[in-house]
Amino acid sequence: MVRRRTFITGTLLGAAAAAVPLAQSAGAAGTVPVGSLTDLQKAIDRAVPGDRIVLADGTYTVPSGGSIRVSGRNGTASAPITISSQSRGGAVLQGERGFVFGDSSNITVSGFAFRQRSTLEIPADCLRIRLTRNDFRLADVSGLDWVVVRGDDAKIDRNRFHDRTTEGIFLVVDGPGSTVMAQRTQILRNHFADHSYSGANGGEPLRLGVSSRALSVADATVEYNLFERCDGDPEAISVKSSGNTVRYNTVRDSRGAIVLRHGNGTTVEGNHLLGGTDGLRLYGNDHLVVNNYLAGLSGRALVIGSGTTRDHHDGESTEERRGNDACDRAVIAFNTLVGNAGAISGETRTYEPRDVVVSDNILVAGSGTLVALGATSGFSWRSNILWGAAANGTIPSGGYRRVDPLLRQESDGVYRLSAGSPAINAATLTDPAVTQDLDGHPRGSSRDIGADEYTTLTPVRRPLTPADVGPDAP
């Protein structure tokens, strides 16, 4: 028998829900409207692949000691079980706890306004859990991390995390045990905003791992997220694991930077870091840093870090693992740094960075020093362009030209190449291949220096705005 799909809106929900028994969802997939937490729990307990459970708009308080349990429920990749609010942000969940997941897979939670006093966790025994188009403003309690991911293949997209003043992290990706990372987490189109915690650290918007997990390859992708006024920590995106991709994000007017704090082999590509304090800091080995745009930063734009150790390794003490690993074998290429207080700089720990390639970048500033590195070993400087009243600093004479790159500021605030720029077709780095520029245009075989490949075409990618991210994002 074909199951009748019922769509209920507005004030008719209560009466219609009573006329459509929840037991219908046990036999075939469909839409199940509910108007109370009790009926929501019943619908979840009976859900089958393809079910969409819709909670009516309103404010719901989960009783003390209670939760909304998602236990032993398994959708499929093509037919997930979806639990959603009737309208985006319309169902407000209050109380101590919200959703508690266990032994479940292919579950989507969408459109809720979360106002709980405890962490929302995706545990290690839950796979392919998606949190999408939600609004997170949990309790402003010191030490409370709002969302923690431990299960594989989670997707956290188009959410808003906002407004806190205390120590704690908006979104953490960890994993099972203490040394392994959750695999293949996708974090995209989220809006992280307004964290004003004034402590020295502990208030990151996003953290991928922790020092004990540094050598675990997470294969996480962090893309198209907007960070605004994220002042809870010097790190806006804190990477403490290996093998991740951080691309196409915008960090604007924030204390926090993109920091590869622990781990190896992460790609940082096509990000805009605008008008905040710091830009990028790099530790660990074999990172690729390309096509990034850093402008108007009052602190250190790009730090090639020194270390208290040469390489992290199995068998380290806890204290050794927490230390900084000197940056070795990074490739830093095709980036544009404009109007920053400090452009490329280093540090003074025991172990100097080694064998780093710094190629085909544009550095422009009106004051200060463009390159301020201390001890290094085996660096390769090539085809960089320096300009402005700022001093050259410690860059070797064969690694740059001092010439006006003819940058023009366009309507989105980004400085791009203009016709006749000496940067056009002047890049020399061929390996690794960089096939697109900051704007999403193809680079071709004769590539330009800096993040922008000169063209008259409209950019495919620009700095993100609130309209591009969060619950109402495309």
Show pLDDT as tens, one digit a residue, over the chain (474 residues). 333 333 333 333 333 333 333 333 344 689 999 999 999 999 999 999 999 999 999 999 999 999 999 999 999 999 999 999 999 999 999 999 999 999 999 999 999 999 999 999 999 999 999 999 999 999 999 999 999 999 999 999 999 999 999 999 999 999 999 999 999 999 999 999 999 998 888 999 999 999 999 999 999 999 999 999 999 999 999 999 999 999 999 999 999 999 999 999 999 999 999 999 999 999 999 999 999 999 999 999 999 999 999 999 999 988 889 999 999 999 999 999 999 999 999 999 999 999 999 999 999 999 999 999 999 999 999 999 999 999 999 999 999 999 999 999 999 999 999 999 999 999 999 999 999 999 999 999 999 999 999 999 999 999 999 999 999 999
Whether residue 104 contacts residue 83, with contact meaning beta carbons closer than 8 Å, is answered with no
Adjacent-strand bridge partners of 268: 246, 289
Q: Which letter, b or e, does each residue of 230-246 get, where b requires 16 or more Cβ atoms within 10 Å of its Cβ?
A: bbbbbbbbbbbbbbbbb
Confidence at residue 29, expressed as pLDDT on a 0 to 100 scale: 80
Sheet holding 369-372, edge to edge: 120-122, 147-149, 171-173, 206-209, 235-240, 257-262, 280-282, 300-304, 342-345, 369-372, 391-393
Whether residue 161 contacts residue 191, with contact meaning beta carbons closer than 8 Å, is answered with yes
Adjacent-strand bridge partners of 408: 416
pTM as predicted? 0.93
Task: With residue 42 as reference, give the H or E element that holds it.
Answer: helix 37-45
- CATH architecture of the domain with range 119-400+463-468: 3 Solenoid (2.160)
Q: How many CA atoms lie within 13 A of 148 on its CB side?
A: 20
